[in-house]
Amino acid sequence: MAEAELNGRTQTAPTDRHPTVVVDNVHIVYRVHGSGGAAASPVAGLRRILTGTRSPMIREVHAVKGVSFVAYEGEAVGLIGSNGSGKSTMLRAIAGLLPPHSGAVYTSGQPSLLGVNAALFNDLSGERNALLGCLAMGMSRAEARRLVPGIIDYSGINERGDFASLPMRTYSSGMGARLRFAIASAKSHEVLLIDEALATGDAKFRKRSEDRVKQMREEAGTVFLVSHQISTIRETCERTIWLESGVIRGDGPTEEVVEEYEKFSKAR
């Protein structure tokens, strides 16, 4: 057994499991710069720089408050919680897109964040986006070209005609989500972070993406899934972390944590 000090607590982990994500007492604070009013004028800004005073228009949102956990190879971890509880913020911090105010996030490899807003180009066709997506994930041109037909096929966007050659702006939100998932899952990821990206697919695609998440876990990756669809969390994740107001309220087997969360939601 290996021991690690995390957030002042000693955590014991079996040595045959390899940690892929370590989140140690992380706090994330957004600073919101207000607009309008005299305090936002350039003159007032210059005066504050010269006098070293802070803008009265800056507000802070403490979105994640002292979160700690360790995730291991081969785990699929669900993140649940009410609106604004800090789930997406936590994923962005794991992806390295948001620096913690204090605490630290350690990951093995470069985590990939797959979100509803994943950067695809609306004016380019699905095919071009698939090609660029593969190149962006580090594949060679030849490998990317070889994989594109399979990605289009897997996404199912061509089920009702040749949409792959049309610009993405002509796609429904579900078709866009399917293509994003198909591109991201063309490669195995050490740590894959999925933010609601499966929610807009239909039942058939959901089943297919759940199967692919399972396969990725078997390839020794770690998958984090944020979803309000508890059925998807149940199907996909054996472990779930419940965040509420930026604090962990539960972390354990999905059935137990979901049951507590559902009781909490009903009581509100």
CB of 71 to ligand ATP, least distance (A): 18
Distance separating alpha carbons of residues 97 and 183, to the nearest angstrom: 20
86 vs 176 by CB, closer to ligand ATP: 86
- Taking the complex as a whole, the smallest distance from the CB of residue 78 to ligand ATP amounts, in Å, to 13
Q: Give the shortest CB-38-to-ligand ATP separation in angstroms.
A: 23
Task: Name the site residues for ligand ATP (rule: CB under 6 A).
Answer: 30, 32, 61, 63, 81, 83-89
Using alpha carbons, select from 232, 238, 236 the residue that is nearest to residue 255: 238
CB 109 within 8 Å of CB 190: yes
CB of 83 to ligand ATP, least distance (A): 3
HSE, side-chain direction, 13 A CA sphere, residue 162: 3
User: What whole-number distance in Å separates Cα of residue 35 and Cα of residue 193?
Assistant: 33
Instruction: Specify the residue, 30 or 106, whose C-beta has the smaller distance to ligand ATP.
Output: 30
Burial 152-167 (b: 16+ CB within 10 A, else e): bebbbbeeeeebbeee
Which of residues 80 and 216 has its CB atom nearest to ligand ATP in the complex?
80
Amino acid at 130: A
| Min dist. Cβ of residue 29 to ligand ATP (A) | 9
What percentage of the chain's residues is helix, strand, coil (to nearest 5)? 35, 30, 35
Nearer Cβ to ligand ATP (125/200): 200
State which residue, 88 or 155, has the beta carbon closest to ligand ATP: 88
